[in-house]
Amino acid sequence: MPNRYSNLKDFNIHELEDVAKEIRDKILKTVSKNGGHLSSTLGATDLIIAMHFVFDVEKDPFIYDVSHQAYAHKLLTGRWKDFKSLREFKGISGYTKPSESPYDYYCAGHSSTSISLAVGSAKAIHLKGEDRIPVAFIGDGSMSAGMVYEALNELGDKKYPVVIILNDNEMSIAKPIGAISKYLSQGMAGPFFQKMKRGTEHLLEHLPESATYLAKRFEESLRLITPGLLFEELGIEYIGPVDGHNIEELIETLSIAKNMGKPVIIHTQTTKGKGYEIAEGTKEHWHGVGAFNLHNGESSKKSSSKKNATTIFSETLVSLADNDDKIVGVTAAMPTGTGISDAMEKYPDRFWDVAIAEQHAVTSMGSLAKEGFKPFCAIYSTFLQRGYDQIIHDIALMDLGVTFAIDRAGIVGEDGETHQGAFDISFLRAIPNMTLLAPYSEGSMIEAMRFAKDYNHPCALRYPRGSFMVDNKESTPYLLGKSELIKEGKDILFIGYGNGVGKAIETANYIDDKEIAILDLRFVKPLDKSKLKELSQDYKEWFIFSDSAKAGGVGSAILEFLSEEMIKDINLTTFEYDDKFITHGNTSLVEESMGLLAGQLAIKVKNKINI
């Protein structure tokens, strides 16, 4: 970090604007090489500079929602030199991370948590009698989640001093109304109006009811022409909209909010991709990017001849929907990421994006299933955690035929701890009425989805980010609870689940000393007990391959089966993830650090069976 940034509060406006240009340039050069979140973090740069100018990062909690937009914060807090390692293995995280810097207040990666965290920190500050103020930075997309309003509801009641910065880069407010609203709301937030308001409130206590009514109506009529009526009704002071790229105006507004001594939300309007014309505007492609050519914006990634799993899901979903008008679907703010966007475009009345609202997405599909439709609920593994109660209470309890298409299962790479798809098998396997299956190739993905389409009970199929390890377009149909032995052998049995089948095949290729049988488990719930009993007669060394947590995972399911059937002569080893969170970085490097590359696993197998 340039030494002069440590004296940011001494800068004038023109110097701060130069800082913004330097930071954007640093972000662009780094992200174009490493990939990362781009448009949102470029748009937030001026806001974050103003935050650091007005508030004290040494003591005030800076709480970033999702925190994918906090690159400028990282650059302002001592990580300028190390920023070149952004998202690399053992490098700077793409999200806030307290173990990386004391200026990162909280670990974040999922949306809509910032205001709850701010309320909690405000309570702690109050109890400790400290002079600090939490600052929550939240995007308009995150405002679609119910947790935000739960937090606002309490904050409006308790009135803890909290400043919420709403970074609005999507909403549209007409210029005339916006200008009037900004003028009025800033005026209302200023010390003169606040002093007058307190005096008026005291006076009204002693006036007739009719006078009180008229005064209240006057204030409310002013509020009605600002877009902050909802927040005011919740008891939160509102300022805005404010130009999120006018640093001078931002500093003035933040200073007012800081001194109000109550909860206040500042509505700022920003442009995604600010400073990089190619990415400016509401272009979803530039939200999260891989490496790209900085001059023309073209991807630097070499195209793969293998189709990725999300594309296979997308194509198959549309194909199934073409032939069955009962097929519907939903996603939670990730239409492109989950591949449901093509179905939404072709059948806009049957496929929906409900914004960042996983709980609502899950429950709403329950009603559709009850009405005779076949819903596909497409959500990343890491985000499905947010709808867990709804899966249990609103889908499984009713035994409704909703299919959960779980994208990004397994290690997802550079996004790291908050996004790894490690836990879905473990948390879904415990739910009654739930069926769990996983494909390992294009052909098996198509067959798994055909099975799910006609299955009138809750089920979940998982698949990885990127391509399957096995490039095979052919597959036999899926039958409930039935596995498939895809390779005969002797002595040793490799059991693969989902993309783990590919890892089993690749590992077996490193071992020439033994003939290894390979089982495509297909279903982890229900298990193919008859097949496993049969195989227990011929194979005594079993090895489990699955991109999932070991605790409660595939190995656990099979150990439970062996215990129930009192089969005691099987030596079982599982190569699932150990009981710890998985760091960020290139997937191969992360797997290597965990000893999970095929060559490393082959050595473990050889050591286990002494060959």
Read off the pLDDT of residues 275-296 as tens digits, 9 standing for 90 and up: 998 988 766 778 888 899 998 8
Q: Mean of the per-residue pLDDT values for the chain?
A: 90
Fold of 309-462: Rossmann fold (3.40.50)
Instruction: Give me 578's structure tokens.
Output: 């150990």
Residues 24, 42: contact at Cβ < 8 Å?
yes
Give the per-residue pLDDT at 403. Answer: 98
pLDDT reading at 562 higher than 80: yes
pLDDT of residue 201: 58
Where do we find the tokens 């920003």?
Answer: 270
CB 416 within 8 A of CB 362: no
Contact between 507 and 602 (Cβ < 8 Å): yes
- Angle at 53 (CA atoms; ends 49, 58), nearest 5 degrees: 105
Split at pLDDT 50, 70, 90, the class of 353 is very high
CATH number of 484-609: 3.40.50.920
Strands 264-269 and 327-331: unpaired
CATH topology for 3-173+227-289 is: Rossmann fold (3.40.50)
Q: Do 409 and 385 contact (CB within 8 A), yes or no?
A: no
- Per-residue pLDDT averaged across 159-185, rounded? 65
Give 524's pLDDT tier (boundaries 50, 70, 90).
very high
Instruction: Provide the 3-class DSSP secondary structure of residue 333.
Output: coil
In 3D, which of 525, 571, 513, 524 has the Cα closest to residue 547?
Answer: 524
The residue-averaged pLDDT of 2-27 equals: 88
Q: Which regions of the chain carry the CATH code 3.40.50.920?
A: 484-609
| Mean pLDDT to the nearest integer, 117-130 | 97
Provide the strand spans (E) within 135-246: 135-139, 163-168, 237-243
At 378, which helix (H) or strand (E)? strand 374-380
**What's the rounded Cα separation, in Å, for the pair 425 and 551?**
10
Question: What percent of the chain is predicted at pLDDT more than 70?
Answer: 89
Return the pLDDT at 186: 56
Residue-wise DSSP of 526-574: S--HHHHHHHHHHEEEEEEE-SSBSTTSHHHHHHHHHHHTT--S-EEEE
Residue 341 has pLDDT above 50, yes or no: yes
Helix, strand, coil shares of the chain as percentages rounded to 5?
45, 15, 40
Q: Is 453:327 a contact under the CB 8 Å cutoff?
A: yes
Kindly state the helix (H) or strand (E) to which residue 441 belongs, with its residue range: none
- Which residues partner with 487 through β-bridges? 518
What is the tens place of the pLDDT at every residue in 480-511? 999 999 999 988 999 999 999 999 999 999 99
Active-site positions read 272, 358, 386
Confidence band (pLDDT; 50, 70, 90) for 176? very low
Which of these, 393, 392, 348, 395, lies nearest to 369 by C-alpha position? 395
Rg (CA), the chain: 27
For residues 262 and 232, give the distance between their C-alpha atoms in angstroms, rounded to a whole number: 12
227-242 pLDDT, tens digit each: 677 888 889 999 988 9
Q: How distant, in Å, are the alpha carbons of 54, 390, 393 from that of 367?
A: 49, 12, 13
Residue pair 376/328 in contact by the 8 Å Cβ criterion: yes
The answer on pLDDT for 181 being more than 50 is no
Q: How confident is the model at residue 512 (pLDDT cuts 50, 70, 90)?
A: confident
Question: Which tens digits make up the pLDDT trace of 442-484?
Answer: 999 999 999 999 999 999 999 999 999 999 999 999 999 999 9
CA gap 378, 389 in Å, rounded: 17
- What's the DSSP call for residue 87? T
* Residue 292: DSSP 8-state: B
Q: Tell me where in the chain the CATH 3.40.50.970 domain(s) lie.
A: 3-173+227-289, 309-462
Task: Enter the tokens of residue 572.
Answer: 């079982």
Counting every residue, how long is the chain?
611
CB distance 506 to 599 below 8 Å:
no
Share of the chain above pLDDT 90, in %: 79
Q: Which amino acid is at 559?
A: L
Residues 524-538, mean pLDDT to the nearest whole number: 97
Q: Residues 168, 221: contact at Cβ < 8 Å?
A: no
Rounded to an integer, what distance in angstroms lies between the CA atom of residue 589 and that of residue 214? 68
Cβ within 8 Å of residue 89, ≥6 positions away? 583, 584, 585, 586, 589, 590, 593
Edge-to-edge strands of the sheet including 491-496?
484-487, 516-520, 491-496, 539-545, 571-574
Average pLDDT over every residue of 29-46: 94
Residue 484, φ and ψ in degrees, nearest 5: -145, 125
| DSSP letters for 224-241 | TTSTTHHHHHTT-EEEEE
Structure token pair of residue 571: 């030596």
